[in-house]
Structure 1
């Protein structure tokens, strides 16, 4: 049985750190620099638990995913891969399901998420970046969907990477396993911004300044709205659903506060100066 999660505490984990500042901005940092923050089963379990806890914490308003050292994440850990080589089908399936659960938890986290990418982001790391709502990368960063070099495929990360970069680009980079630059990553949609390493934090801070001016419940609902509406035809059912959504938000406590603040020309009560 999973351990119960207390949403009011700061998460702790073996291979990552998590800090929540006074604004409610949580920074989750991959902390295995000696192996370029490579994935293993422990790191995957840590991330799943921490993402879940942050999603349940009502004081958290945004989440940054960062990493220590020269690389954001080098993909699968070598020792983990050695163990997987001798796994049975059932053990491999369980391992893959755990990774898929972690990626889904990050992708659907009910807070805006920002990936802070420096150095290499290879293999599963591209999935992490794709699962975040925004991604700011260093101009020196390199990316690679390297699985086919090992006779494998990027299966568990594929839904998120394809959504981020599109089918045609996925067909190229899934099959060539070529390394591509942050400039290219920006062009195909994997990165939101590509900046100098010195500009990483100030660029992320600029995004946070915008997010923190907005209604927390509205931000969460707006993110969910994208999942609910994307790729749907605007038929009568969808029109009715979206009309219900805006009506509900207008009469909600946050919606009423936002409208009142606008009409009274004052800052709403969630605004952080």
Structure 2
């Protein structure tokens, strides 16, 4: 079991330590934080098509929890090195669980479920950037992100039933993202889903054509555009807006919810950032959180 240390005494130390922990290119997960507070987690198990095992799951949970505790983080990018985003769970790892006890098997499955939960509830905006395959559990990671950008050659698949398995831990997030009707089709058929279909059913938001030579930089340009849009917004309001989406999900619009939302807007409009945003609008100036936050694609390299 890997041991991690997190120094939470100061923001600068947190950022430096998080970067240093994933400095080695041999790590299964790389983590970087730029000067604007944009964090990037990169799946780096390229020889296995970024298929994840227990160690990779543990690393992802660690970094997501660590980043959530850093106050100046503004956005999280989830990316992958290599040709494919991820082939899903490592089948050798899955097969090895047959030698484990029932308790160990359940604990292992709960770790994957926990990964989905911590990514889904990450307090800041999350953007998944997909190329190549996103199969099985990797599709669950995508469904837990707020925004998904995919290259035009990307393919998606809920492939579990082909192997006698089911997409259990990712199921709730998949059903929420694409709806039960589409989920029933693709969970039962294990068909491959191309980028256009994935966009149609709500699995991804944006498609970037990177096949033509002239379009190779479009993906990074699109990421820059999205992250800049996020940096232009109030950090506190972004967290509250994301939390509001979770609260409203599957909730009846009743007196309880109406009261909650009324109190929410009443509180935030008199908050420090709420007043700063309104003052900046009337003063025809940029709010304080926009200062020195111009994004460069070079910062992510």
Question: What is aligned with 1:211?
Answer: 230
More displaced stretch, 232-241 vs 130-139: 232-241
Q: Does 1:30 align with 2:43?
A: yes
Matched, 1:221 2:234: no
Tell me the SS of whatever aligns to 1:183.
helix
Aligned to 1:236: 255
Superimposed CA distance per residue, residues 102-136 of structure 1 (whole angstroms, 9 cap, x where no aligned partner): 11000000010000000100000000110000000
Contact 1:6 1:53 in 2 (8 A): no
Give the counterpart of 1:257 among 276, 279, 283: 276
Structure 1 counterpart of 2:213: none
The DSSP-based 3-state class of the residue aligned with 1:70 is coil
Task: Provide, for residues 145-200 of structure 1, a one-character-per-residue CA deviation record: whole Å limited to 9, x for no partner.
Answer: 01111111100001111111100000001111111101111111110111123322
**TM-score with structure 1 setting the length:** 0.96
Distance 2:100 2:162 in 1: 20
> In structure 1, which of residues 156, 181, 193 is the aligned counterpart of residue 169 of structure 2?
156
Task: Check if 1:99 corresponds to 2:99.
Answer: no
Q: Which ranges of structure 1 fall in alignment gaps of 5 or more residues?
A: none
Q: Deviations over 1:214-269 (max 9, x none)?
A: 00010011001000112222221111110100011011111111111111111100
Task: Report the Cα distance in structure 2 between the residues aligned to 1:78 and 1:240, rounded to whole angstroms.
Answer: 48
Structure-1 separation of matches of 2:193 and 2:282:
49
What does the per-residue CA deviation read over 1:30-60, in whole Å, with 9 as the maximum and x for residues that have no partner? Answer: 0110111001000000000100111111111
Higher mean displacement: 146-155 or 194-203: 194-203
**Greater mean alpha carbon deviation, residues 6-15 or residues 145-154:** 6-15
TM-score, normalised via structure 2 length: 0.87
Contiguous gaps of at least 5 residues in structure 2: 211-215, 295-301
**Is residue 16 from structure 1 mapped to residue 29 from structure 2 by the alignment?**
yes
- Cα shift at 1:6: 3.2
Give SS of 2:123's match.
Answer: coil
Determine the C-alpha separation between the residues in 2 that align with 1:159 and 1:113: 18
Task: Report Cα offsets for 1:67-114 as digits up to 9, x if no partner.
Answer: 000110001113312312322321211011001111100000001000
Decide which moves more: 235-244 or 63-72: 235-244
Name whichever of 203-212 and 116-125 sits farther off.
203-212
User: Aligned ranges for residues 25-174 of structure 1 at < 5 Å?
Assistant: 25-174=38-187
- 3-state SS of paired residue (2:40): strand
RMSD over equivalenced CA pairs, Å: 1.5
Counterpart-to-counterpart distance in 2, 1:48 and 1:18: 12
The equivalent residue for 1:5 is 6
Query: Secondary structure of the equivalent of 1:85?
Result: helix
1:165-204 alignment runs, 5 A limit:
165-197=178-210, 198=216, 199-204=218-223
Deviation at 1:3, TM superposition (A): 5.3
Distance 1:125 1:152 in 2: 15
Find runs of 4+ consecutive structure 1 residues off by over 3 angstroms.
1-8
User: Aligned pair count?
Assistant: 273
